[in-house]
Copies of this chain bind each other. A is one copy, B any other.
Amino acid sequence: MARERLVVIGGDAAGMSAASKVRRERPDLEIIAFERGPHTSYSACGLPYYIAGMVDKAESLISRTPEKFREKYDIDARVLHEVMEIDPVERWVRVLNRSSGKEWREFYDHLMIAVGANPFCPEIPGSDADGIFGLSTLASGIRVRRDLEEHRPRRAVIVGGGYIGLEMAEAMILRGLEVSLVTRGAEVMETLDPNMGALVSDALEDVGVTLYRRESLEAFEQKGERVSAVITDKRTLPADIAILGMGVRPNSALAEAAGIPLGIKGGIIVNERMQTETEGIWAAGDCVASHHLVSRRPFYIALGTVANKQGVIAGTNIAGGYATFPGVLGTAVSKICRYEVARTGLHEKDLKELGLQFISSTIRSRTRAGYYPGAGAITVKVLAEKGSGRLLGGQIVGEEGAAKRIDVLATALQAEMTVHDIVNLDLSYAPPYSPVWDPVQTAARQAVKEV
């Protein structure tokens, strides 16, 4: 009799977390993982630091190779294998070995879809020129670094002012390039409110990035095969290399073709156990729609932490256990040279769309006691519900030691605390780490007055 088989599509965070969890709980199961790229289980979030040269070898970003999965976990992880089709009725997937060109059907008892997301690349003139890069897989990061080393570009243009834009701007600055960044928004970081985003815009300019706000990408100019300029609705920016940080889209076409229902922004719909609406098929990570804990509505986010957690939850359930994923807050943090940016929960634009009334409090403080050497600036914003005082979101921009404080607000959000509760939190204090009132509490104190 054939062994019960789990097939995993996608060899990174969500897929391999699920596979590893299933292996721990069910030593008897056969587990095969297909990854269309050449690598498994790597840190996509580490790519900017590899590209910057802060991390020497691409291998450092890999936590487990296919060999390790096979030898240590008895997981048959096959790279350069792409799943082309899912048959949810007969329970097979059609697999293409991208090296040999061979195709076949692999039957499954359980199927885990963890195919991630693709960077958005608009179809505009010149977009297929050499020297234009989106960033998603380790392979894409290796291509960017090789390009920097082989072509020695002098001028980089980053399109998009989100995390990837910010972190790639830092990488290019560290590489010694002249860096411009184009964003559609009034400020970079549109997941922050404009008053906080303006601080990030200032930080970018402070570290040497030339910033073009309220500009849209229209086309790329090329010289021969290679990009030579980025054209916006307002100007032509000479570019030896262009990086797209225009967001990502869930890679859900394969699931859609199999009739698996999709939700917000094309993310695969899953329940709290990470089960799709199709029997025997599970999904997790950047390809699924999540539940937002503050808005209590569907939400799409592509983040490694969420993918890892959802993968473990899916694995637990596939193995016959029981686990649920409560949802996300959209917590994120980013670094641009000596500046730190973090956010969690909802921001003003979200709240207005939801029709929630809120008060907001933005305060300036220091990362350490004012007299302690190295005390840096920190600005904290909290948003709270009018009347109830329920925390709705938080944003932080500051210098060293600023950003990780967002975790207090994320924890408070998950606990549905009010700003009043936050004022009375017994947080740690010593002069090297904080003023006597932690900046998040100072922000909450101000909010309490207005609730």
- Listed in ascending order, the chain A residues whose CB lies under 8 Å from chain B are 13, 43, 45-46, 49, 54-55, 60-61, 163, 167, 293, 303-306, 308-309, 325-335, 342, 344, 369-373, 401, 403-408, 410-412, 414-415, 417, 421, 423-434, 436-438
Contacts and interface: CB of A to CB of B under 8 A. Distances in A.
Given A61-B371, A411-B412, A415-B411, A305 B426 contact: yes
A442 B328 CA distance: 18
A430 B372 contact: no
A338 to B, nearest CB: 11
A412 B427 CA distance: 11
A427 B411 CA distance: 7
Contacts of A333: 428-430, 433
A331 B430 contact: no
A426 B329 contact: yes
5 contacts: A45-B430, A46-B371, A305-B437, A328-B426, A333-B433
A119 B430 CA distance: 18
A428 B415 contact: no
Contacts of A421: 414
The complex is assembled from copies of this chain, and their number is 2
A431 B342 contact: no
Given A404-B404, A411-B417, 11 more contacts: A46-B372, A61-B371, A305-B427, A305-B429, A326-B424, A331-B427, A333-B428, A333-B429, A342-B428, A407-B427, A411-B427
B60 A424 contact: no
A371 B437 contact: no
B414 A428 contact: no
Contact of A424 (B45, B309, B330): B309
Given A55-B372, A325-B424, A43 B431 contact: yes
B46 A426 contact: no
A437 B372 contact: no
Nearest to A304: B436
Contacts of A49: 371-372, 431-432
Contacts of A423: 309
Contacts of A331: 426-428
A344 to B, nearest CB: 7
Nearest to A341: B430
A109 to B, nearest CB: 26
B425 A45 contact: no
Contact of A433 (B372, B404, B437): B404
Contacts of A406: 428
A369 B43 contact: yes
Contact of A43 (B61, B424, B436): B436
A410 B436 contact: no
